Structure 1
Amino acid sequence: MVVDDEPLARSSVTLLLREDPDIQIVGECGSGEEAVSHVRALRPDLLFLDVQMPECDGFDVLEMLGAQVPTAVVFVTAYDQYALRAFEAGALDYLLKPFDDERFRLALRRAKQRAGQAGSSSPKLDHLVIKSVGEVVFLKTAEIDWIEAADYYACVHVGPRTHLLRRSLADLDDELDPAAFCRIHRSAIVNLERVSGLKLNEDGEHEVVLRGGTRLRLSRRYRKQLQERMEKRISRRTESPRVPPA
């Protein structure tokens, strides 16, 4: 994700990022407040962040995110006086504008290395322990149909049953295997194995159709991500539902 209040500065970073086939840009933000909201929703691994922005600067963004700060943060700024503070805040690198392509690629290599190390050290969730009155349920994640946010809880839908789990949807999205699960809306995650198709509703909005007929709203923000994850499953299937282009 790229955050800068100057459109030209954002554009210069995104153009360089698009040269790397391993990088997917999940969003661009023009303010600190917007960045906090988008990072919480999209959970990027890498954040290119401007320092000086009106009302909410780069350091404010990291403070507001707290434990949700991405794995790798690279500050991009024209001011060298913030470098020490940036590294104290946990930044991986500090790019001074104007920077050349090679310096940018060095920062990107460092970021990819850190993100890869973080991913390899975090085993994916394969079961849940759900406690309720008089009952403890041990649930394999493969049995889940879909998960719905409910304030500070998550409603885990398994066939006709719904289990209430005291976990945030964002945390579950981080821990579930991305090859098996995908967030389709800020309030919903689906098991890709349960997806039977995609349809437009009467309002012209895309919906994910699950086996059994459940229909869930597909947010434009997550459509590309769903498409990519479903396409990765094509090699294991003769047919796979595809997401219509935006």
Structure 2
Amino acid sequence: MNTLKAIIVDDEPLALKLLRSKLNKFSELEIIAECKNGREAIQATMDLAPDIIFLDIQMPGIDGFGVIKKLQTDVVPMVVFTTAFEQYALDAFDVHAVDYILKPIDEDHIKRAVERALIRFNSGDNTDNKNRIIGAIDSINERENVDIRFPLDPEVADSQTSSTSGIVERKVVIKDRDDITLLKQSEIEWIDAAGDYVCLHADGVTHIKRSTLKSLLKELDPNIFKRVHRSTIVNLNFIQKVIPHTKGEFFLKLGEYDQVKVSRNYRDVIKSFLTDM
């Protein structure tokens, strides 16, 4: 019988204790770590490679969604959110095959979540987890979307120039609900693909854009943006440290909490960069 390695995350000690006691009833689960905030959850996931994470959505600092956004796609395990969200949000999770447990903790939902996870794990359908979650988040956002009266043409945004230097400032246009963000390419630290979406990480914030990595790559400055994984692009200017890993792979430390794995197929890109410095 396969045993799922699990991490549980909640900022409320009593909620964490209750969740642990409920999950300990399942012999198919082994809790390998408990985290009280999003930062701990990110680090534990990177260090321990769990099969599943039971993750509170509403936490101070980095919330549950923020944890998933900050993790590289290939690192994201199966996720079960613990939540008190409205029903429309729960429907979005169902549609995208992402499970949830209602607060106060519901015994039937715990049983359903564990059973679903075991089925997915044993069938090998435990990939594309980040894609599923980003899809659910986008579905929630669409339901809350407010029509924009004067939408901005991306081509116009990309052609904008700096008022002080006259030099073209390359930007990426991101639409989120009723907001449009013009993100300077020079401020983007790394980009992660999640199916039909990309997650752009800049200054501690993760922006979601509906686009493929291949399509976005054509817009980026090739001098500073390099692919280091089949699903990941990094801005070379933000590399702080190179950390050796197993089997010829290594991690790039890009910020206080961001680490990106470089696959063997792309390690020469970073070696070349380090040699030229």
| Alignment TM-score, normalising by the size of structure 2 | 0.42
